[in-house]
Amino acid sequence: MKLNLKSLFTGIAATAIVWSASAAETVKVGVLHSLSGTMAISETSLKDVLLFTFDEINKSGGVMGKMIEPVVVDPASNWPLFAEKAEELLVKDKVSVVFGCWTSVSRKSVLPKFEQHNGLLFYPVQYEGEELSKNIFYTAEAVNQQAIPAVAYMLAEGKKKFYLVGSDYVYPRTTNKILKKYLQMKGIPESDIIEIYTPFGHTDYQTIVAQIKKFAGGGNACVISTLNGDTNVPFFKEFANAGLTSENCPVVSFSISEDEFRGLPAKQLAGHLGCWTYFMSVKTPENDKFVGDFMSWIKDPKVTGTSYKVSGVDPKGRVTCSPMNLSRMGVHLWKQAVEKAGSFDVDKVRVALIGQKFKGPVAEVTMQENHHLINNVFIGETLPTGQFKVIKTFKDVAAEPFSDMFLK
C-alpha cells in the first residue's frame, strides 16, 4: 500500500512539474474584441491580426523566450460585458497585457477595471481623446491625427460649409465638438455648420440626405462622417440616390477603412475621402511583407508554440487596414518594452514603453510619454476597388489627446 501511495504521489509530482514547465514556457495575453453583435464586422479582423502577430512573434522565439498564449474572449458588442470580460482576463486568467476594444464606450467601460487591477490595455482605434490613463497605451489615431488634418484639407480645398453626421455616442459627439471649435477658429460661421446624430444600426437616411442636398446646393459644402458600422450602407445608398457625389458634396469618413469596404457598396463611395495613419495601398517593402504574410497566414491560421487553435477565419477577400496595423504594432511595442524591462511586470513595462520605436509598414512610430504615438497621417481618395489612393501625407504627427493643446 505504501509503495502504491508513493507511486501515486510521485506521479502527481511529475505531472505538476510537467504542468509548471509548460506554464513557464508561455505568457498569457488577452484579446478583448467583439466576435458577435453589431461591432463584429470590424472587431473580428482585429482578433485575426492579433493572432497573426502572436504567431509572427512566436516563430521568432517569443517574448523573453516565452511563447505568447492568447486568451480570447467575446464581449459581444455589449458594453457592460466588456467590463466583465476585462476583469475575467485580469483576475481569473492573469494575463500580462490585453489588446482590445473598438468603440470609446467599450474602452470607457473597461478602464476602471484596468486601473483597479493595474492591468495594461493597448487600444488601436481612432478616438476622441480627452483621456489619459496610466493603464492604457493608445496606438489609435487621436483627433489631431485624423479629424483635424482631414478638415484642414477640406478647408484648403475651398470648402466653406460642413455637415457633421455621426453615430450617437461619445466618439462622434466629442470629436464634432472639437471640430466645431476648430472650424469657428478658421472663420466658418456657426450657421454653416450642421451637426446631427443617428443611433447604431440606423437605416432611414432619406430626411438627412435631403437636408444635406439642400445644404450643399450653394456649393463649397462637404460632409464629415463619424457614422460607425453597417449604418454606412443605407447612408451612402441614399446619398447616391439623391444625386449627391464626391464632386458636388464630398464625404470624409473617419470610420470606414478597407475592412469596412468589404461590406459596403464600394462603387457608391468612390471619390469620397478617408483619413488614417495607414492604407493598404501604400507601397513600401515593409507593407508588402506585412500584407503578404497576413494573406498567407489566414489560409492556415494557427499560433505557433501553443495549443491555441484559430477558428472562424474567412480567407476570402481579406484586406489590411489602419486599426489592424495599429493593433499589430501595439503587440510589437509591448514585446520590445518587456524585453527592455526584463520583466512582464506592468509597472516596469509601462516605464520601458516610453520612447519605444517600431518600423511599421508605412512609417516608424514612436511611443510618447503621453502614451500616444508619433505617426504619419494620410488622406486617401476611395477607389471602386475598395482601396485608397493617397492624395496627401502629413509626416511625423505627434498625437495629442487633449484638444486644448492644439486648439490655440
Domain positions in the chain: 7-141+282-374, 144-278+377-405
**Residue environment code for 11-23, b if the CB has 16+ CB neighbours within 10 A, otherwise e:** eeeeeeeeeeeee
Residue 387 pLDDT: 96
Give pTM, 2 decimals.
0.91
Residue 294 pLDDT: 98
Residue 311 pLDDT: 83
Answer CATH for 7-141+282-374 from 3.40.50.2300, 3.40.50.720, 3.40.605.10, 3.40.140.10: 3.40.50.2300
Q: What is d(CA 102, CA 97) in angstroms, rounded to the nearest whole number?
A: 17
Determine contact, residues 25/95, Cβ cutoff 8 Å.
no
Q: What is d(CA 183, CA 197) in angstroms, rounded to the nearest whole number?
A: 19
Q: Which residues contact 183 (CB under 8 A, 6 or more apart)?
A: 151, 155, 162, 193
Q: Does the domain made of 144-278+377-405 have the CATH classification 3.40.190.10?
A: no
Q: Which residues contact 68 (CB under 8 A, 6 or more apart)?
A: 26, 27, 29, 54, 57, 58, 62, 303, 305, 306
Same fold, 7-141+282-374 and 144-278+377-405: yes
Residue 12 pLDDT: 36
Residue 15 pLDDT: 32
Q: Which residues contact 353 (CB under 8 A, 6 or more apart)?
A: 137, 333, 334, 337, 367, 371
Residue 228 pLDDT: 85
Residue 24 pLDDT: 55
Q: What is d(CA 8, CA 322) in angstroms, rounded to the nearest whole number?
A: 55
- Grid-cell match 495599429, residue found: 326
Mean pLDDT per 10-residue section of the chain, whose length is 408 residues = 37 34 76 92 94 98 98 96 98 98 96 98 97 98 98 98 96 97 97 96 95 96 92 91 95 93 82 97 98 96 93 90 98 98 98 98 98 98 95 98 94
Residue 408 pLDDT: 84
